[in-house]
Structure 1
Amino acid sequence: MATLSACASPPWPNPDSPNSNPNPNFLPDQSQTLDFDSLMPPQPESPPPNHHHSPDASPPESSPSPPPPSILYLSFNQDQACFAAAADNGFRIYNCDPFRELFRREFDGGGIGHVEMLFRCNILALVGGGPNPQYPPNKVMIWDDHQGRCIGELSFRAAVRGVRLRRDRIIVVVEQKIFVYNFADLKLVQQIETVPNPKGLCAVSQLSDSLVLACPGLHKGQIRVEHYAQKKTKFISAHDSRIACFALTLDGQLIATASTKGTLIRIFDTDHGTLLQEVRRGANAAEIYSLAFSSTAQWLAVSSDKGTVHVFSLKVNSSIPEQEKSQSSSNSDAAITPSSSSRSFIKLKGVLPKYFNSEWSVAQFHLQEGSHYTVAFGLQKNTVIILGMDGRYDLKKLLHAVIDSYSVYLRCCRFYCNT
């Protein structure tokens, strides 16, 4: 059972308050270049040379340099404007576009295995991790960066696998259970049983008037969707294999799912559990690392261990205002059209095997195979942001009428040194 520790004696910040939600008093970097040397603890100065030492004395041995920090976890905030990097010596927060470091916190070698932002406010959720965890891995620490300390904690009997934040909820994932809390008073709202969930899979909508939570069900390949406004639960049999990854739209009306096979991605209506669209990443099995909808639910991005990020055009509707959709479409969101080769396959639908009738991605970005990449859509129209566990940051743009594998490189850099 989760408990609120005595360290939460200060008044609990209300995430719905206008004073706690705007851009906080971050401590921004004064330059665009990251100072990796500051990650290292200060080295003791060498003593002055002794000119009277014995000729038999051996020269002093230089102390080995400490290893550079390693990234343990990467996550975007709720509107993909920022991202957080947890490392074995603390955490850092970055702005996505323009790319720059906002602030960092280091804990004298203590590791952070999970960091979750609440939009751009001063409240974060931290979980210890790495060889020397800063906090116990079975606790979620509520960090107030204005005060520079933890103001509360949630304790569990098992290691925490994931955390999700809304302005009004904290969701904590352990191996076979999910806990839902009110943010204002940390009261437990619901406990949900799941299949073994070592990845901490969970997704929650972010619109204030739509609270939808998705998590693994009690059976292989099943998704459970909680609609809190309607007070109903929907189970979706998404795949025959185990669920590997899923993502919700901002309003929670659509969910994209992938199985451990990693060849097909399916998009469902969360209200009725109806399969709306099926797209194909490839023919060979792959591990899906992340799925991301664009803000207008017109695009879906998929990253995998094949070193590729695929972008698919969606034909489903969300509750995004029609004016915003039409404006986005007029700015080239709908400018990508099927190629002539794709249209020729449509004529043979029902004749060729299902593989040839599959819907394929309209754009691909090729990266280093084997690296773990997390993907999201940028605030600029038709831009994709790719984060790598190797410290790589990519900002890429889709062309107006490109098909298959054409993209525009905008920016690539390393935001973290871990080599």
Structure 2
Amino acid sequence: MVFRTNWLLVVKARRPCSLMLLDDQQRAFKAEVLFKSPIRALRARKDKVAVVLSSSIQVLALPSLSRVALMRTRLGARPLCALASEPSAPHLLAAPAHRKGSLQLLDVTRAVKGAHSSSPAVMGCHQTELVCLSLSANGARLATASERGTIIRVWDTATKQMLHELRRGSDYADVYCVDTRALCAFTDDNTAVLICEDGTFHKFTFAAEGNCHRSDFEYFLQVGDDDEFLQ
């Protein structure tokens, strides 16, 4: 779902290289674009969608699905991507860079001639592979986590300087989410659930020896009465 609107971005299992835009108000597909490789992830704001492919990220305008920016990524890298979401915020796109543990940051505010973007800013964030990244809604802050899972770092996107370093512990752990807003609660002594702003539900179970693993994961979408439908 493109925010709280009647637009839905659809990728079918039998057509993983095709992205379609569905207008749920009119019950009809309005646009479609084909890629040369399967779509691995999507991140959307009301006017743009970032499509993660095998070795690049393409930014498309909504609702036309015309390409406005292109970011090259390392072949085989995790399908990570973040896009600032506030309408008045700079249209910042964050994704893993070619060097392990590094991240690239690009402003895709305006369409560029030939859909080729200027060079992104590269930030060295961690020593090991990135597994999570998240931009605040206004694009001012960036959070990153690596495959070691011991540290979460918060960055200023304007200065590219680290603001905070949050140490989770010394043992390796899998980090699944570093979203800016989330609700967490314990259902019992051994189980915790987490509902995130990006529309994901996580359930974690704690073992007797102190280890934790994710036992359930789902996407949820809920549309309220105050939705602004896009024509």
- Same fold, TM exceeding 0.5? yes
Pairwise CA distance, 1:206: 1.1
* 1:262-284 Cα deviation digits (max 9, x unpaired): 11000011112101100012221
Counting matched residue pairs gives 198
Q: Does 1:273 align with 2:153?
A: no
* Residue number in structure 2 paired with 1:121: 5
Q: Does 1:388 align with 2:208?
A: no
In the superposition, the TM-score normalised over structure 2's length comes to: 0.74
Unaligned runs of 5+ residues in structure 2 are 111-117, 205-217, 221-231
Moved more, 221-230 or 151-160: 221-230
Summarize the Cα distance change of 1:387–1:366 in structure 2 as closer, same or farther, 3 Å threshold. farther
Query: How far apart, in 1, do the equivalents of 2:73 and 2:62 lie?
Result: 22
* Residue number in structure 2 paired with 1:238: 125
Q: Does 1:162 align with 2:41?
A: yes
* Residue number in structure 2 paired with 1:53: none
* 1:139-179 Cα deviation digits (max 9, x unpaired): 11212212324222221111101111112112110121100
Work out the percentage of aligned pairs sharing the same amino acid.
27
* Residue number in structure 1 paired with 2:177: 290
- Computing the radius of gyration from Cα coordinates, the structure with the larger value is 1
Q: Does 1:221 align with 2:101?
A: yes
Query: How far apart, in 1, do the equivalents of 2:135 and 2:190 lie?
Result: 25
Summarize the Cα distance change of 1:157–1:389 in structure 2 as closer, same or farther, 3 Å threshold. farther
Summarize the Cα distance change of 1:166–1:126 in structure 2 as closer, same or farther, 3 Å threshold. same
Query: How far apart, in 2, do the equivalents of 1:386 and 1:229 lie?
Result: 27
* Residue number in structure 2 paired with 1:410: none
Q: Does 1:185 align with 2:5?
A: no
- Does the residue aligned with 2:134 lie in a helix, a strand or coil? strand
Pairwise CA distance, 1:375: 4.0
Select the structure that is richer in helix.
1
Pairwise CA distance, 1:246: 0.5
Summarize the Cα distance change of 1:276–1:191 in structure 2 as closer, same or farther, 3 Å threshold. same
Q: Is the 8 A contact 1:195 1:220 kept in 2?
A: no
Letter in 1 for 2:32: E
Matches within 5 A, 1:245-394: 245-294=132-181, 368=191, 375-376=195-196, 387-388=201-202
RMSD: 3.3
Summarize the Cα distance change of 1:366–1:229 in structure 2 as closer, same or farther, 3 Å threshold. farther
Summarize the Cα distance change of 1:184–1:146 in structure 2 as closer, same or farther, 3 Å threshold. closer
Q: Is the 8 A contact 1:140 1:154 kept in 2?
A: yes
* 1:208-230 Cα deviation digits (max 9, x unpaired): 12211111111111111112459
Select the structure that is richer in strand.
2
Query: How far apart, in 1, do the equivalents of 2:108 and 2:163 lie?
Result: 23
Summarize the Cα distance change of 1:288–1:273 in structure 2 as closer, same or farther, 3 Å threshold. same
Unaligned runs of 5+ residues in structure 1 are 1-116, 295-300, 303-308, 311-362, 379-384, 391-413
Summarize the Cα distance change of 1:136–1:279 in structure 2 as closer, same or farther, 3 Å threshold. same
Query: How far apart, in 1, do the equivalents of 2:76 and 2:139 lie?
Result: 21
Query: How far apart, in 1, do the equivalents of 2:219 and 2:51 lie?
Result: 28
Q: Is the 8 A contact 1:267 1:276 kept in 2?
A: yes
Summarize the Cα distance change of 1:212–1:285 in structure 2 as closer, same or farther, 3 Å threshold. same
Query: How far apart, in 2, do the equivalents of 1:220 and 1:274 lie?
Result: 18
Q: Is the 8 A contact 1:176 1:193 kept in 2?
A: yes
